Amino acid sequence: MRDGVQLITYADRLGGDLPGLARVLRDRFGDAFTGVHVLPFFTPYDGADAGFDPVDHTQVDPRLGGWDDVRDLARTHDVMVDLIVNHVSADSPQFRDVRERGDASQWASMFLTMSSVFPDGAREEDLARIYRPRPGLPFTALRLGDRLRYVWTTFTPQQVDVDVHSPAGRAYLTSVLDAVAAAGVTLVRLDAVGYAVKTPGTTCFMTPQTFAFIDEFTAQARARGVQVLVEVHSYYQQQVAIGRSVDLVYDFALPPLVLHALYTGDPLPLAHWLQVRPRNAVTVLDTHDGIGVIDVGADRTVEPGEDPRPGLLTEPQLDALVEEIHRRTGGASARATGAAASNLDLYQVNSTYYDALGGDDQAYLAARAVQLLTPGIPQVYYVGALAGRNDLDLLARTGVGRDINRHVWTAAELDADLSRPVVRALLALCRLRGSVPAFDSDEVGVRVEGSILTLARRGAAHPAATFTARIDLAAARASLDWSDADGTPHHAPDLLSLATHP
């Protein structure tokens, strides 16, 4: 995998389809991004959960293109796709057959029900122990053949959970992995894998059985030349533990910690995290989901009688963080968050990252500097790459909170935003991150002086190559110094000045 910055995007939001996305990446973004995470483009890409409820996970939605278009994209960029291991659409042919024929269906064992996980029945404490970051129990009453069953639906009634250990479930997941590997995909994201294994008497979330499944599936992927990224929102110490046993894990603690630092001028929680976090991480500030706060809060899976496990931020700090996001967005994020807008996740705040910083160009670039200097593979969401504002019109049309951060760009809007100084500076920063050979080590120098946070990277193969950002958190401003492989120094007194960088 090439060193550099990756873009996260839907196939249709920048160029209309997969060929259009390839043109935007190559012609408009140029060499700013070396890779791309294309969010679900399977059939259908516009289902009940924006593609995360595939009817057919082995086929590209023909409205977006085909596997040849994915192969073409892989010619010039590292391609990452989602492998949705926990569930399929209730409209999938397999589950439709089970709905019609019940246990007589060849696919009956592929789907989980309450009784298949709890064959001897479930006690109240068994059900209360199940971890779910959404209200209620993860079951939907459906008629399967001639019987009414409680089908396991972790996320929505439209997303039916797969038994990943059944022969039918294993064969299904292998067929999906084979399809993406054949298209030149080099990295898969195991979407919501923390919920994929249900074990009676446990939280059914990131249990030892879950880790065993991840190990087994990772071995399958590696045999096909594909790396695995684990997507789990969880307590920070669990993230550190997950990082020890997988190829890559998301750093979901970084986005709220960066906001806290820039809001308060307090670098200590962020500096602490930079010292203890897993190095084999994909760093993000924004994704297609909201800004998570569960990742920096106290452990919500603590069993009764166990000692509490505090988070990276205290509960008052978390409350203040959420309220400040709402204030800086003029209340837009409050209208898109929690029970206010049909949200699936109650522990995420929905807003663009640019608006969460009040549309302050310098503060936004300072946040991106922290991300790009943090060890790992940096990914920038397409809305963030264009310093996008909250899409209140889309939110009003759909009533879905996450859509506030899922704008569809027209060609004219793309032209206009690519000319903005903040966007030009961000793309220049991304190009520097991919061209200065100072990032081949997973070490970062962290220095705190009052409200000043300094982050420094130095090349291992090219020790003369350096990259240093000095972030004044109180002023929400940053400066940058870097040197090339031969030691030639460069200086940007503020990050917005990178807009004129060639």
Q: What is the DSSP letter of 308?
A: P
Q: Give the separation between CA 306 and CA 118, rounded to whole angstroms.
A: 25
Half-sphere exposure for 66 (CA within 13 Å, toward CB): 1
Neighbours of 244 (CB within 10 A): 9
Looking at the structure, do residues 61 and 149 belong to the same domain, yes or no?
no
β-sheet bridge partners, residue 410: none
Q: Which residues are annotated as a binding site for substrate?
A: 49, 87, 189-191, 231, 288-289, 345-348, 402
What amino acid positions are annotated as catalytic residues? 191, 231
Looking at the structure, do residues 259 and 326 belong to the same domain, yes or no?
yes
Residues 168-215: pLDDT tens digits?
999 999 999 999 999 999 999 999 899 999 999 999 998 999 999 999
Looking at the structure, do residues 67 and 213 belong to the same domain, yes or no?
yes
Looking at the structure, do residues 70 and 106 belong to the same domain, yes or no?
no
Does residue 343 or residue 149 have the better pLDDT? 149
Q: Give the separation between CA 322 and CA 327, rounded to whole angstroms.
A: 9
Residue 1 included in any domain:
no
Residues 308-331: pLDDT tens digits?
889 999 999 999 999 999 999 999
Looking at the structure, do residues 152 and 172 belong to the same domain, yes or no?
no
Q: Which residues contact 364 (CB under 8 A, 6 or more apart)?
A: 353, 354, 357, 387, 422, 426
β-sheet bridge partners, residue 483: 466, 489
Looking at the structure, do residues 171 and 209 belong to the same domain, yes or no?
yes
Torsion, Cα of 183, 189, 190, 191 (10° steps):
-110
Residue 281 confidence (pLDDT) above 90: yes
Looking at the structure, do residues 53 and 182 belong to the same domain, yes or no?
yes
pTM of the predicted protein model: 0.94
Looking at the structure, do residues 82 and 97 belong to the same domain, yes or no?
no
- Give me the domain span that covers residue 481: 445-500
Looking at the structure, do residues 186 and 212 belong to the same domain, yes or no?
yes
Neighbour-count burial for 109-128, b at 16+ CB within 10 Å, e otherwise: bbbbbbebbbeeebeeeeee
Residues 384-409: pLDDT tens digits?
999 999 999 999 999 989 999 999 99
Residue that finishes a domain, picked among 161, 176, 195: 161
Q: How many domains, the chain?
A: 3
Residue that finishes a domain, picked among 161, 186, 220: 161
Neighbours of 491 (CB within 10 A): 11
Q: Give the separation between CA 436 and CA 448, rounded to whole angstroms.
A: 24
